[in-house]
């Protein structure tokens, strides 16, 4: 069991982040021979991503039910896109299209969000590191970061300060 941090904290991620939501939905439970291979492809890809940090993957959270969902954090869209075009993902994608295509037995989906640092904030209370705080580390909430508005302002101000120091 992950250690719970019994205080308020926020993520320590410094830059922009790509949030990638990917998953599958079982539409025909009895078609195990269709959806099980899709489901079984996920652990290998996740292992590959955690082992190869140079790919740009930061972390993932997984949720299971009829619809399986993974929320992933990436350093950049370019790295996410490069991974999608190769590695284990490309093999899994080709298998999906060959074995399932649009027959309706199992659905897959993804959504991609490119989030500039000044447009995101997070808070975690009585939680183990989770989400972006698991991906990047965490910081204790201070009076300067006590509210959502302050956390966003702090990130925005730090980006403005960086811009002012550029020639």
Q: How many CB atoms are located within 10 Å of the residue 27 CB?
A: 15
Q: Are residues 83 and 35 in the same domain?
A: yes
Check whether residue 109 and residue 136 sit in a common domain. Answer: no
Q: Tell whether 54 and 126 lie within a shared domain.
A: no
Nearest to 16 by CA among 161, 156, 163: 156
23 and 112 Cβ atoms separated by less than 8 Å = no
Number of domains in the chain: 2
* Judgement on whether residues 102 and 60 belong to the same structural domain of the protein: yes
Across 3-21, average pLDDT: 94
pLDDT category at 78 given cuts 50, 70, 90 is: very high
For the ranges 6-10, 108-112, 148-152, the lowest mean pLDDT is seen at 148-152
Q: What is the pLDDT of residue 166?
A: 40
The half-sphere exposure of 66 on its side-chain side, counting CA atoms within 13 A, is 6
Mean pLDDT in residue range 122-146: 94
Range of the domain at 93: 17-115
Task: Indicate the range of 62-66, 73-77, 89-93, 147-151 predicted with least confidence.
Answer: 89-93
DSSP character for 143? G
Q: Are residues 69 and 148 in the same domain?
A: no
- pLDDT confidence of residue 47: 95
In a shared domain, residues 45 and 111: yes
Q: 126 pLDDT band (50/70/90 cuts)?
A: very high
Domain co-membership, 80 together with 130: no
The more confident residue out of 111 and 94 is: 111
Q: What is the CATH number of the domain that holds 103?
A: 3.30.70.100
Residues 33 and 156 sit within 8 Å (Cβ to Cβ): no
Domain co-membership, 127 together with 99: no
Q: Which residue has the higher pLDDT, 164 or 100?
A: 100
Same domain for 27 and 109? yes
The strand ranges marked E within the chain are: 5-11, 17-26, 57-63, 67-74, 106-115, 124-127, 138-140
- The whole-chain average pLDDT of the chain stands at 89
Within this chain, do residues 92 and 148 fall inside the same structural domain, yes or no? Answer: no
pLDDT at position 160: 43
Q: Are residues 44 and 109 in the same domain?
A: yes
Range in 19-33, 96-110, 146-160 with the lowest mean pLDDT: 146-160
- Give the pLDDT score at 163: 41
Residues 37 and 88 in one domain: yes
């Amino acid at each position: 069991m992950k250690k719970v941090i019994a205080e308020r904290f926020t993520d320590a991620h410094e830059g922009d982040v790509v949030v990638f939501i990917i998953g599958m939905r079982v539409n025909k439970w009895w078609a195990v021979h269709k959806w099980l291979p899709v489901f079984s492809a996920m652990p290998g890809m996740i292992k590959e991503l955690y082992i190869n940090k140079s790919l740009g993957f930061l972390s993932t959270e997984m949720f299971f039910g009829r619809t399986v969902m993974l929320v992933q954090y990436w350093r950049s869209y370019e790295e996410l896109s490069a991974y999608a075009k190769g590695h284990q993902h490309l093999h899994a994608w080709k298998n999906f299209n060959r074995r399932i295509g649009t027959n309706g037995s199992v659905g897959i989906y993804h959504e991609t969000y490119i989030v500039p640092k000044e447009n995101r904030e997070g808070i975690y209370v009585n939680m183990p590191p989770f989400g972006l705080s698991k991906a990047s580390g965490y910081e204790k909430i201070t009076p300067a970061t006590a509210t959502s508005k302050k956390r966003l302002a702090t990130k925005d101000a730090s980006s403005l300060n960086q811009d002012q120091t550029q020639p």
